[in-house]
Amino acid sequence: MLNQNNVILGQNRSAIRELFEYAKKRKTEIGEENVFDFSIGNPSVPPPVEVETALSDLINTASFEELHGYTSAHGCYSVRKVIADYLNGKFNTSLNAECLYMTCGAAASLTITLNALLNEGDEVIVFVPYFPEYKVYTEHARAKFVAVKCEEKTFLPDLNALKNTLSPATKAVIINSPNNPSGVVYGEEIIKNIAEILGDFYKKTGNAVYLISDEPYRELVYDGITVPFIMNYYSRSIVCYSYSKSLSLAGERIGYIAVNNAMEDFLEVYAAVCGAGRSLGFVCAPSLFQKLIERVCGITSDISVYERNRNLLYRALIEYGYEVVKPDGAFYMFVKSPEVDDKAFVERAKRYELLIVPGECFGYKGYVRVSYCVNTDVIERALPAFKSLAESYKLI
Ligand code: PLP
């Protein structure tokens, strides 16, 4: 018999992918310009010009082994060194190349980290709403996925709920800020509070809990907001990073894991990361894109486009009577469904050719996610459809 968990996963495509496929089909039926696809987080802003320049320079000057050969399993030393230096300069940490492990994007960073840390029966705490793959990755690592609620209005973690959920089986907490799907950014106070709760829990019980920060949207923040770097607040911390969104390289699969060298068991954790990467069959991250990162580390795509989109969409949706969580980052907006059943709302939105994702996919019913990483003109053209949809619910 086949592995039934995987058969089921393969048969049930995620609702986001389902909508993405529906969008493609619908575009061929009625024309691309008539479908407003807010379903997926595929960056619409091109990579910065530095990416193109560095790529063509690499292709013209580097040897084929350098471009296309295997690298060390944990990544090229020079690349890891550049990233460590960059993080130290920005966040005042003392990381070195030995703290970094290059990956095929945040998805790989997460699966490797979870497999490195987890034994059968361990628990992983995640705040709701959450990126749906956390559940898939956690359960694949034979651990228990434990969802903890956020505060109703702010969508920030409910700290009492976190305290009450910690158990001797808790091995890790995943945070994701800027958040997919809410767009909420966790400020310094919330990070300090989470660190304090986990620190107190360790003092009282001797149970060490790792804090995993999934941050593919770190640089995508608006109004001058900054995202605290967890290593400065909690020693048992691991950052899962990706260049998918910050450099618009989602299809190239490049990112890293940074293990905090201030944690007691750093060497063992880093070894477990290398072991998990090996046992999961990640031979090495793509060579060419590792070399690219060495040259463009610290640069981002033009994120002002997302800020413009956010402002345009947020103002309009509020004007039309929708209840919206104002996003400070990422490129998602979490909108309250005007009817209890978010899936019914999503179906009604389809009648207006608006493709949005039900909150149920993120463990949070009654809301929908609108991905605004589209060209601004798509939003401009979609606004009348959002307005008609609001009118159909008598919101205006
Ligand atoms: N984590 C979150 C919160 C995401 O939104 C995504 C992708 O959308 C990922 C991880 C996976 O990112 P990557 O494409 O770098 O694997």
Quick check: is 53 in a domain? no
Q: Where are the alpha helices (DSSP H) in the chain?
A: 4-11, 15-30, 49-61, 64-68, 77-91, 105-117, 133-140, 159-165, 188-205, 266-279, 287-296, 304-319, 342-351, 376-392
Looking at the structure, tell me whether residues 42 and 85 fall in a common domain: no
Q: Ligand 1 mean position to 1 CA, how many Å?
A: 32
Quick check: is 287 in a domain? yes
Quick check: is 56 in a domain? no
* CATH code, domain carrying 253: 3.40.640.10
Instruction: Select from 44, 113, 244, 280 the residue to mutate for testing ligand 1; criterion: most ligand atoms less than 8 Å from CB.
Output: 244
* CATH code, domain carrying 341: 3.90.1150.10
Please give the distance of CA 258 from its chain centroid, rounded to a whole number: 15
Flag whether the pTM goes above 0.95: yes
Please give the distance of CA 232 from its chain centroid, rounded to a whole number: 20
Quick check: is 64 in a domain? no
Using a 6 Å cutoff on CB, does residue 183 contact ligand 1?
A: no
DSSP character at residue 289: H
Using a 6 Å cutoff on CB, does residue 113 contact ligand 1?
A: no
Single out the residue in 261, 296, 331 at which a domain terminates.
296
Looking at the structure, tell me whether residues 191 and 262 fall in a common domain: yes
Which pLDDT score, from 0 to 100, does residue 152 have?
A: 86
Q: Domains in the chain: how many in total?
A: 2
Quick check: is 250 in a domain? yes
Using a 6 Å cutoff on CB, does residue 123 contact ligand 1?
A: no
Using a 6 Å cutoff on CB, does residue 41 contact ligand 1?
A: yes
Residues 155, 159, 161, 167, Cα dihedral to 10°:
130
Q: Ligand 1 mean position to 106 CA, how many Å?
A: 5
pLDDT tens figures, 39-81: 989 999 999 999 999 999 999 999 999 999 999 999 999 999 9
d(CA 378, CA 384): 11
Which pLDDT score, from 0 to 100, does residue 49 have?
A: 97
The domain of 145 spans 70-296
pLDDT tens figures, 81-128: 999 999 999 999 999 999 999 999 999 999 999 999 999 999 999 999
Using a 6 Å cutoff on CB, does residue 180 contact ligand 1?
A: yes
Looking at the structure, tell me whether residues 42 and 79 fall in a common domain: no
Quick check: is 65 in a domain? no
Q: Ligand 1 mean position to 204 CA, how many Å?
A: 34
Single out the residue in 242, 272, 296 at which a domain terminates.
296
pLDDT tens figures, 333-359: 999 999 999 999 999 999 999 999 999
Single out the residue in 237, 263, 296 at which a domain terminates.
296
